[in-house]
Structure 1
Amino acid sequence: MSNSVSWVGALLGLALAIGLILWKLNPVYSLLLGTIFGAIIGGSSLSQTVNIVVAGTQSVMGTVVRVLAAGVLAGVMMESGAANAIARAIVTKLGEKWAILSLALATMIITAVGVFIPVAVLIVAPIALEVGSRMKISKLALLVALSGGGKAGNIISPNPNTIAAARGFNLELSQLMVADFIPALFGLAMAVLLATFLRHRGAIASMADVEVNQKQTGQTKLETPSLRSAIVAPLLAVILLLINPIGSILHVSFLEKFQVDAIYILPFAGIVGMLAMHKGNKVLEYTKAGMERMTDVVLILIGAGAIGGLITSSTLPAEIVSLIKVSGISGTFLAPISGILMAAATASTSTGVILATGSFSKAILSFGTAPLAAAVMVHTGATVIDHLPQGNYFHVTANAMNMNLKERMGSVPYETAVGLTMTIVGTLIYGFF
Structure 2
Amino acid sequence: MVIAWWAALLGLLLAIGLILFRVNPIYALIFGAIVGCLIGGMNLSQTTDVIVKGSSGVMGTIIRVIAAGVLAGVMMESGAANVIASNIVNHFSDKLAILALALSTMVLTGVGIFIPVAVLIVAPIALEVGQKMHYSKLSLLVALSGGGKAGNIISPNPNTIAAAKGFNVELSQVMIADFVPAIVGLIVTVLLATLIKNKGTFVSAEHKFETKEDKDLPSLKAAIVTPLVAVILLLITPVGDILGIKALASFNLDAMYILPIAGLIGTLAMGQRKKFLKYMTGGLARMTDVVLILIGAGAIAGLVSASDLPQKVVEIVKVSGISGTFLAPIAGILMAAATASTSTGVILASNSFSKSIMSFGISGTGAAAMVHTGATVIDQLPHGNYFHVTAKAVDMHFKERMSVVLWEMLVGLSMTIVATLMYGNLF
Please indicate the TM-score interval, normalised by the length of the shorter structure.
over 0.9
1:117 paired to 2:115: yes
Alignment of 1:53-92 (within 5 A): 53-92=51-90
Which sections of structure 1, spanning at least 5 residues, go unmatched?
none
Q: CA deviation at 1:208?
A: 4.1
Give per-residue Cα distances to partners, 1:393-414, cap 9 Å, x unaligned: 1111111111111221221111
Aligned to 1:167: 165
CA distance in 1, matches of 2:389, 2:356: 35
2:312 corresponds, among 319, 323, 342, to: 319
Which amino acid is 2:9 matched to? L
Structure 2 CA distance for aligned equivalents of residues 270 and 320 of structure 1? 42
Runs (4 or more) in structure 1 with deviation over 6 Å come to none
Root mean square deviation of aligned Cα: 1.3
Alpha-carbon separation, structure 1, partners of 2:23 and 2:213: 36
Q: Distance in 2 between matches of 1:383 and 1:208?
A: 35
Matches within 5 A, 1:42-57: 42-57=40-55
Shift of the alpha carbon at 1:5? 1.1
Name 1:199's counterpart in structure 2.
Answer: 197
- Counterpart in the other structure of 2:11: 13
TM-score, length-normalised on structure 1? 0.96
Q: Secondary structure of 1:411's match?
A: helix
What one-letter code is carried by the residue in structure 2 that aligns with 1:145?
A
Superposed CA deviations along residues 250-303 of structure 1, whole A, max 9, x for unmatched, are 212221111100000000000110111111111121111111111111111111
Contact 1:176–1:376 (Cα < 8 Å) also in 2? yes
Percent of residue pairs bearing the same amino acid type: 64
Partner of 2:417: 424
User: 2:206 and 2:238 mapped to 1: Cα distance?
Assistant: 47
Rounded Cα–Cα distance in structure 2 between residues aligned with 1:377 and 1:396? 27
Tell me, yes or no, if the aligned pair for 1:304 and 1:358 is still in contact at 8 Å.
no
Moved more, 87-96 or 108-117: 87-96
Residue identity opposite 2:174 in structure 1:
L
Structure 1 residues 19-418: aligned runs within 5 Å? 19-206=17-204, 208-209=206-207, 211=209, 220-221=212-213, 223-418=216-411
Query: Deviation per CA, 1:325-348, whole angstroms, max 9, x where unpaired?
Result: 112121111111111111111111
Please tell me the residue identity of whatever aligns with 1:118: P
Amino acid across the alignment from 1:370: S
Alpha carbons 1:7, 1:315 under 8 Å: kept: yes
Q: Does the 8 Å CA contact 1:373/1:430 hold for their aligned counterparts?
A: yes
Q: Post-superposition shift, 1:221?
A: 4.2
Tell me how far apart the structure 1 counterparts of residues 113 and 318 of structure 2 sit (CA, whole Å): 40
- How far 1:21 sits from its partner (Å)? 1.1
Structure 2 counterpart SS, 1:73: helix
Q: Identify unmatched segments of 5+ residues in structure 2.
A: none
Provide, for residues 59-98 of structure 1, a one-character-per-residue CA deviation record: whole Å limited to 9, x for no partner. Answer: 1111110000000000011111100100111111122221
Kindly indicate whether the alpha-carbon contact (under 8 Å) linking 1:343 and 1:383 is maintained by their aligned counterparts in 2: yes
The structure-2 alpha-carbon separation of the partners of 1:412 and 1:82, relative to structure 1 and needing over 3 Å to count, comes to same
What is the distance in 1 between the residues matched to 2:297 and 2:375? 15
Q: Secondary structure at the match of 2:33?
A: helix
Shift of 1:224: 2.1
Q: Distance in 2 between matches of 1:92 and 1:296?
A: 34
**Could you tell me how far apart the structure 2 residues matched to 1:56 and 1:144 are?**
36
Other structure's SS at 2:330 match: helix
For residues 278 and 229 of structure 1, the distance between their equivalents in structure 2, rounded to whole angstroms, comes to 9
| Deviation of the 1:4 alpha carbon | 2.1
CA distance in 2, matches of 1:270, 1:155: 20
Cα distance in 2 for residues equivalent to 1:210 and 1:199: 21
